[in-house]
Chain A
Amino acid sequence: MSEPSQETSASTQFDELPTAPPKRKIRLSWPGKIGVSVLIFWAIIVVIGPTIAPYHEADILDEELFIVPGSDEMYPDTDFQPPSSIVLLGSDYLGRDTLSRILFGARTTIGISLLATLLAYLIGVTLGIAAAVGSKFLDMCLSRVNDALLSIPSIMFALVLIAALNSPGIFWLILIAGFIYAASVFRIARSLGQEVMVSDFVEAAKVRGEGLWWIITREVLPNIAMPLATDFGLRFVWVILFISSLSFLGLGVQPPMSDWGSMVKENLSGLVYGSVAPLMPALAIATLTISVNMIVDDISAATGGKLAKRMIS
């Protein structure tokens, strides 16, 4: 919240907020600390990944690169090369550099997931608070539709929409993921909002004659911000897994753009030859999602586990 307005003495006495209780410090365990560093690492990669990549994401590497000095082999296979000094993480099924594609793909995968999660929050929190403060009828309508949306497995729901829209582009992918995950955000925002709305301080605000908008912005939103921020982490993980699964099924991000989920799918045939190409992008996803979960775990342990409980149910 902003500073209590001390200079503007003209303001009414109701504008002053009581001093907040001291914030409890969240102590990170060592998995949590590793999580934070991995998260920072990927955030940097999103920005500079394409510039530090040794090759372009769509470059099919020259056969000359793989000619062993002294050997008489003219045209060596460039696909599914094991990791070496030329291709640090090996090459993929077309002979492209896996490392470069992971570095380029970070932007696609993380960018899409982040935008979709933000969209889900925009829709979910707005409607959730509307249901919490609005009339009983509005709450019932929104909740029934929401229950129905939640009862459809999210990946199935996305498949129906993707089929109906006839394999749409990235813009629609973000919209679909945002819309689907808005349902679960709605649920938690509504239950958190309802809890605040029946509290004594909201009652007091109502008695003072504060308007609905004042109550929403000054009482409800600040009180639900922290649990929602933690939930944002979990939701972000689910959206990453969701987008990756769609790409893995060939219905998400389309080639030649590289994205971690579709990279696993493309290189799945290499598994039989023991190639690491399908494993690397999957591990990239795993490092990201595990780190977020480690951080969230620490935070919910610090808040007594209450948060985690509410999110699971």
Chain B
Amino acid sequence: MLWRAILGRFGISLVTLWVVSILIFIGTNLLPGDVAQIILGQTATPESTAALRAKLGLDKHPIEQYWVWLQNVMMGDLGISKAGLGAGLGTPIVEMLGPRVDNTLRLTLIVGAVAIPISLFLGLIAAMHPGTRLDRSITFATLNLISVPDFLVATALVLIFAVSLGWLPSIVYLRGDETGWVLLKTLAMPILTLVILVSSQIIRMTRATVLNVMSSPYIEMAILKGVPRRRIILRHALFNAVGPIVNVIALNLAWLVGGVVVVEQIFSYPGLAKLMIEAVQMRDMPLVQACAMIFCATYIVLIFIADIASILSNPRLRHPK
């Protein structure tokens, strides 16, 4: 039954990914006018436009174009960026993505490694002492932090740590050979911003889920038996709250990969999301498609993992009705 449930989730993920690829393809092909014409500009002769159209496969039927694109994507060929295409050969997108993926993954991993333990700890502390001053201040602070725009958090931190105190650089300037302490100092501002933003989400979710489990009958039983409160939370409640908590962690990790456009922009951090903004501003459609596919695939994979975690932690989910 366990394998069947997992296979079922896997099938749904694949179907979702497929629908996503169709949506992205339609979305990027809403473009009025002809990509070949846009690339070649005003001076294009009809012959050169036609040649480029044939080269890019634009003279085929849209469904055939989609099919070719899908096959290429599955083979790992994400196409050719518009950058430098006018001069002859464009840059393969895979080459452009490489360093950006490295940067994004580095930031995501550091932020995840810092934020997840902190927020689980604070969330549990708040849930252990509901209604106390500690709990109320944690709840109040996180509610405020999830309500404000991310650029407010970022600008406020810049104002404090870069302008007033002068401790940290306000812009990330990566040369590529930094290690250890220097690297950490360079990345400190975006890391701090993202840790604050991500933590407040996870803290709220952890607290809400654990408190929710705490109102179930078997916890009442444990309380009546006289089990100490700390043991109830750590042994009984936490394991039953794993599903939703893993889910919100997965959502936040996916957001760190694709949703941090604003933060990457403020600190001019060369990550994937900033690459996509640049692609949008340059109207570089193949690159936009590739980035969008990466973000959606990340989201779907992470949610799939979270689903499996909740199936493993809750045997009832193994038997879909």
Interface residues of A (CB under 8 A from B): 31, 144-145, 147-149, 151-153, 155-157, 159-166, 237, 241, 244-245, 248-249, 251, 261, 264, 268, 271-272, 274, 278-279, 282-283, 285-286, 289-290, 292-294, 297, 305, 308-309, 312-313
Contact = CB atoms under 8 A, between A and B. Distances in A.
Contact of A160 (B146, B148, B280): B280
B152 A286 contact: yes
Nearest to B164: A274
Shortest Cβ-Cβ A-B pairs, 7 listed: A148-B19, A282-B152, A164-B30, A163-B280, A286-B148, A289-B147, A153-B258
A245 B261 contact: yes
B147 A272 contact: no
Contacts of B205: 312
Contacts of B164: 274
Nearest to B243: A313
Contact of B163 (A272, A283, A285, A313): A272
Contact of A282 (B143, B151, B211): B151
A156 B24 CA distance: 11
Given A156-B258, A244-B151, A274-B164, 5 more contacts: A152-B292, A153-B255, A261-B149, A286-B144, A305-B211
Given A147-B16, A153-B299, A160-B288, A279 B155 contact: yes
A305 B208 contact: yes
Contacts of B303: 151
A156 B291 contact: yes
Given A156-B292, A271-B163, A313-B244, A285 B20 contact: no
Nearest to A158: B280
21 contacts: A144-B16, A145-B23, A148-B20, A151-B20, A151-B299, A152-B299, A160-B28, A160-B292, A164-B30, A166-B32, A166-B283, A237-B147, A244-B149, A245-B261, A249-B262, A271-B163, A286-B144, A286-B147, A286-B148, A297-B143, A312-B205
A70 B12 CA distance: 75
Given A31-B140, A271-B163, A159 B151 contact: no
B184 interface: no
B262 A248 contact: yes
B312 interface: no
A264 B155 contact: yes
B305 to A, nearest CB: 14
Contacts of B288: 159-160, 163
Contacts of A285: 148-149, 152
Interface string B111-153: 0000000000000000000000000000010011011111110
A160 B155 contact: no
Nearest to B257: A153
Contacts of A165: 30
A297 B146 CA distance: 13
A32 to B, nearest CB: 11
Interface residues of B, number: 60
Given A153-B258, A249-B277, A271-B159, A160 B149 contact: no
B150 to A, nearest CB: 7
A308 B299 CA distance: 23
A149 B277 CA distance: 19
B254 interface: yes
A153 B295 contact: yes
Contacts of A151: 16, 20, 296, 299-300, 303
Contact of A278 (B15, B155, B170, B247): B155
Nearest to A251: B280
B266 interface: yes
B159 A162 contact: no
Main secondary structure of the interface of B (DSSP, over half): helix
Contact of B156 (A152, A153, A249, A279): A279
A309 B163 contact: no
B163 to A, nearest CB: 5
B42 to A, nearest CB: 16
Interface in B72-129: none
A244 B154 CA distance: 14
Interface in B203-259: 205, 208, 211-212, 244, 247-248, 254-255, 258-259
Contact of A159 (B12, B19, B244, B277): B277
Interface in B267-303: 273, 276-277, 279-280, 283, 285, 288, 291-292, 295-296, 299-300, 303
Contacts of B320: none
B163 A148 contact: no
B1 interface: no
B12 to A, nearest CB: 8
Contacts of A153: 254-255, 258-259, 295, 299
B143 A147 contact: no
A274 B292 contact: no
Contacts of B280: 159-160, 162-163, 251
A147 B19 contact: yes
Interface in B7-49: 12, 15-16, 19-20, 23-24, 27-32
B313 interface: no
Given A148-B16, A271-B155, A160 B27 contact: yes
Contact of B283 (A155, A163, A279): A163
A272 B148 contact: no
A293 B300 contact: no
Contacts of B255: 153
Nearest to B139: A297
A307 to B, nearest CB: 12
A271 B155 CA distance: 8
Nearest to B299: A151
